[in-house]
Copies of this chain bind each other. A is one copy, B any other.
């Protein structure tokens, strides 16, 4: 079969994959429209097309979910996206806040050999610059043991930053400014009930974090 998909189709597939992961329920037309920054009517059209290509199952008024084939497609695109992000940061010296939009384009380049050679060139990385797992050639992804949100940690616990739940440039630059990056070790020194903010120690300094910030930082206890 080996269907050739347009960039738009690949973007939709990725969005459906990601929305489905959040709820484990069929993705609604409206949710998808919001994610894709388009109109519900456009989504209905596209979902019909993708269903026609048996990349997803669609029932009128009931939303859609990917087929096995659709999932494979999503994982291929995600693999490429994250490999390119890794390339941009590791080899081309981009900041982790600058790579998403470019990877959003690069992920659509069609060449299995390119993807696999890039993977090898990068030494088969398991995680991208934001801590997200990179699917391997077969779509397999490393499952991480016991990670949690920084905001969930108790007083005096020590943890290492392993990811971010928000990849927006503004948030990433905020983290940069405060010297928080993947691998940063921190200790919870204080927690304030009234606004769920906390103070953490890192690099021998104390940093105050809002609940909005701490809930978007993924950590692992040391």
Contacts and interface: CB of A to CB of B under 8 A. Distances in A.
Number of copies: 2
Contacts of A117: 92-94
Contacts of A110: 105
A102 interface: yes
Contacts of A111: 101-102, 105
A182 interface: no
A88 to B, nearest CB: 7
B98 A105 contact: no
A109 interface: yes
A88 B105 contact: no
A138 to B, nearest CB: 20
Contacts of A88: 114
Interface of A is mostly: helix
B102 A118 contact: no
A121 B92 CA distance: 6
Interface residues of A, number: 18
Given A88-B114, A92-B121, A106-B106, 16 more contacts: A91-B121, A92-B114, A92-B117, A92-B118, A93-B117, A94-B113, A94-B117, A98-B113, A101-B111, A102-B109, A102-B111, A102-B114, A105-B109, A105-B110, A105-B111, A106-B109
A118 B94 CA distance: 11
Could you say which of A91, A102, A106, A114 has the most chain B C-beta atoms within 10 Å of its C-beta?
A114
Contacts of A114: 88, 92, 102
Nearest to A92: B117
Interface string A82-115: 0000001001111000100110011001110110
Interface in A47-93: 88, 91-93
10 closest A-B pairs by CB: A92-B117, A105-B109, A102-B111, A102-B114, A92-B121, A91-B121, A106-B109, A93-B117, A92-B118, A105-B110
Interface string A107-151: 001110110011001000000000000000000000000000000
A39 B110 CA distance: 25
